[in-house]
Structure 1
Amino acid sequence: MNVRSFQLSDYRPITALLEDVLTEDCYEQTMEAFARQLSWDSDLVLVAVEHSEIVGMIIGTIDNNKGYYYRIAVSPLHQRKGIGKALVQALRQRFEQRHVTKILITADEHNEPVLPLYESMGYAANDFFRAFQKLAIVTG
């Protein structure tokens, strides 16, 4: 498995993955944030590729020198194989390269099911940024 930056050719497979994994409401919010983050800094959108198939993705953002894990999605057929952890670790490296002062996990109603993933990687409750606003508002 390879984790790399988003490329334009990834757009359709990523939207299909998000549509498959996310609820309709979460999908709409995520697509807005996805488009906005691509226009700001596409290096903070990472994809996991296995055998030339996109099996996961993570969207991050930086605001006021803080890095945020915004949304993570892994194909149901590839969950529990370490892909989510690899995505989080790769994005953390990007944050560290940019010298962010703190890394937070956006903990909205849609991210609640994946919070144990972050906890298993050493993040604690005080690392969760409980925002019920869209990324566009949070980092505007």
Structure 2
Amino acid sequence: MHVRSFQLADYRPVTSLLETVLSEDCYELTMKAFGRQLSWDSELVLVAEEEDKVIGMIIGTIDNNRGYYYRVAVDPDYRKQGVGKELTRLLRQRFEQRNVTKIMVTADEHNEQILPFYESIGYASNDFFRSFQKLSIVAG
């Protein structure tokens, strides 16, 4: 597995992955945030690939010196193989390189079920930014 920054050629495979793993409402919300983040700072959108196939992605953002994991998605055929863990680890490195003061996990009604994953890699409930309204990501 190789993890790297998002590239324009990844757009179709990433959107296909998101369509596969997210609900319709979550997909629409995520695509809006995805577009905003790409226009602000594409280095905080990472893609995992295996043999030239996109198998996972993560969207992060920075706001007021805080890094946020916004959405992580992994192809169902590659789950439980460390893809999500590696994506979050490498995004954390990028946050740390930018001297963020705290890293948070964005928790909304669409990703409550993934919070145990974040707990399993060391995040606690006080690291969850709970947003049950429409999320508006602000560039930092």
Q: TM-score, normalised by structure 2?
A: 0.97
The separation in 1 between residues aligned to 2:64 and 2:17, in whole angstroms, is 30
Matched with 2:138 is 139
1:117 has 2:117 as partner: yes
Measure the CA separation in 2 of the matches of 1:68 and 1:112. 15
1:26-65 matched pairs, under 5 angstroms: 26-65=26-65
Name the SS for the 1:10 alignment partner: helix
1:59-87 CA distance string (max 9 Å, x none): 00000000000000000111110000000
Which range is displaced more, 110-119 or 39-48?
A: 110-119
What is the RMSD computed on CA atoms of the aligned residues?
A: 1.0
* 1:23-73 residue CA offsets vs partner (Å, 9 max, x unmatched): 000000000000000000000000001111000000000000000000000
Letter in 2 for 1:128: F
Structure 1 gap segments, 5+ residues each: none
* 4+ residue runs over 6 A deviation: none
Please say if residues 33 and 134 of structure 1, whose CA atoms lie closer than 8 Å, have aligned partners that are also in contact: no
Shift in Å, 1:134? 3.3
Aligned residues: 139
- CA deviations 1:103-135 (Å, max 9, x no partner) are 000000111111111101110000000012334
Partners of 1:44 and 1:52 lie apart in 2 by 20
SS at 1:99 equivalent: coil
Unaligned runs of at least 5 residues, structure 2:
none
Identity of aligned residues (%): 70
Q: Report the equivalent of 1:93.
A: 93
